[in-house]
Structure 1
Amino acid sequence: MNHLQLEKDIEHLENVITHISAEDRIPLSYWRNRINLVSGAPLVPAQASRVKRLNAALSALEERQKT
């Protein structure tokens, strides 16, 4: 994945994750897979920090879905 595409993917995830809920028509597992894909790419420290925040936000949604 090239740097520009990686940055676009992270930005998209940042926009989406703040607006989704466990009841959305796109399952949380889809977003988990997208974050995992980005996490597996070579990241600069700033990107790694952003992906870590995305992961934490999605994990919180996943926990709420379990209850």
Structure 2
Amino acid sequence: MNHHQLEKDIEHLEHVISHISAEDRIPLSYWRNRIDSVSGAALVPSQATRIKRLNAALSALERRQKA
């Protein structure tokens, strides 16, 4: 994945994850797969930090969904 596409994907995920809920029509598993696919790319340190934040935010939503 090229650097520009990777950056666009991370930006999109940051926007979406900050606006979704556990009851959203797109399942959280879809967003988990998207984050995991971006996580597998070669990330610079700042991108890795942003992915960690996305993982934490999505994990919190997943925990709320199970509760």
Provide TM-score, normalisation by structure 2: 0.99
The one-character-per-residue Cα deviations of 1:7-54 (angstroms, maximum 9, x if unpaired) are 000000000000000101000000000000000000000000000000
Aligned residues: 67
Q: Which residue does the alignment assign to 2:14?
A: 14
Give the aligned residue type for 2:32. Answer: R
Q: Which residue does the alignment assign to 1:35?
A: 35
Question: Are residues 1:61 and 2:61 paired?
Answer: yes
Provide TM-score, normalisation by structure 1: 0.99
Structure 1 gap ranges (5+): none
Identical positions, percent: 84
Runs of 4+ in 1 over 4 A off after TM superposition: none
Secondary structure at the counterpart of residue 35 of structure 2: helix
In the alignment, the residues of structure 2 paired with residue 31 and residue 60 of structure 1 have an alpha-carbon distance, to the nearest angstrom, of: 13
Q: RMSD of the alignment, in Å?
A: 0.3
Q: Which residue does the alignment assign to 1:23?
A: 23
